[in-house]
Structure 1
Amino acid sequence: MFTIAQIKEAHSRVQSGADFPIYIQELIALGVLGYDTFVNDGHVEYFGSDNFRAVATETYPNISIAPFANKERFIEFLVMHQGGQTDYLTFCNHAGQCGIAKWSVNIVEMTCTYLDHSGAAVLIEKIPS
């Protein structure tokens, strides 16, 4: 199974959202089936086969999550990030401002779902291969 050290190595090559598809391909090679990223503190829970789970506990200073999702503004920030215009922490702050509490990546389905406080999907996007 994969380790957090292996995931960190793959993530170290990500400079912006433009690098995300390559990162996903590296996670697939490691055996990661999906992961959840929690915007408030940055911890990430990774999932593999046979209920394998690994948690990256390194966090950043707490980010406040807006009580209501602003899907339209979030899409604007997402497009900027995917275009390489923002770094990861800036994107996380933008997500919090827009009410995104976490995102869940399903590598099997190649989707990334952005969720609000209640766990409701705000946006589901296909991950480019």
Structure 2
Amino acid sequence: MFTLEQINAAHAKVKSGADFPRYFEELKGMGIAWYETSVADGHTVYHGADGYKTTSPARYALRAIAGVANPRQFQTDLRAHQQGKTDYFTFCGQCAAQGVGQWIVRMDLHTCTYYDRHANEVLTEEIPRV
């Protein structure tokens, strides 16, 4: 099974959203089936086979999530992040400001789905294959 140390080593290679597809493949290779990240504090729960899971600690102080999602601005911020124009912490701040409270990455579907703080879907994207 995968460990937080392995996940952290893979994450350390990510400098921007442009690196995400390679990171995704590395996590998938570890046996991670899906994971969910909370924008409020940056913790992530990683799920594997047979109910195995591990949770990372919070990555920053609690952030307020806007009560109403702004999908148009979020997509603009996401594109900039994917192009390497922002780092992870900046992107998380933008998510919070645009009402995105969580994302779930599914390895089997090759998707990342963003949700508002009420668990309504804001956007689902297919993750590019490397």
- What is residue 4 of structure 1 aligned with on the other side? 4
Q: 2 CA distance for matches of 1:96 and 1:40?
A: 7
- Paired residues, what number? 129
Distance in 1 between residues matched to 2:116 and 2:82, nearest whole Å: 20
- Measure the CA separation in 2 of the matches of 1:58 and 1:7: 15
Tell me, what secondary structure is at the counterpart of 1:67?
Answer: coil
**SS class of match (1:22):** helix
Q: Mind listing any 5+ residue stretches in structure 2 that lack a counterpart?
A: none
Partner of 1:91: 91
Which position in structure 1 is the counterpart of 2:47? 47
TM-score normalised to the size of structure 2?
0.98
- Structure 1 unmatched ranges of 5 or more: none
- In the alignment, what sits opposite 1:72? 72
- In the superposition, the TM-score normalised over structure 1's length comes to 0.98
Query: Counterparts of 1:58 and 1:42 in 2: how far apart (Å)?
Result: 5
Tell me, in whole angstroms, the C-alpha distance in 2 between the residues paired with 1:106 and 1:97: 24
Q: Which structure 1 residue ranges, 4+ long, deviate > 3 Å from structure 2?
A: none
1:119 aligns with 119
CA deviation string 1:29-83 (max 9, x = no partner): 1001110000000000000011110000142011110000000000000000000
Tell me the C-alpha RMSD between the 2 structures: 0.6
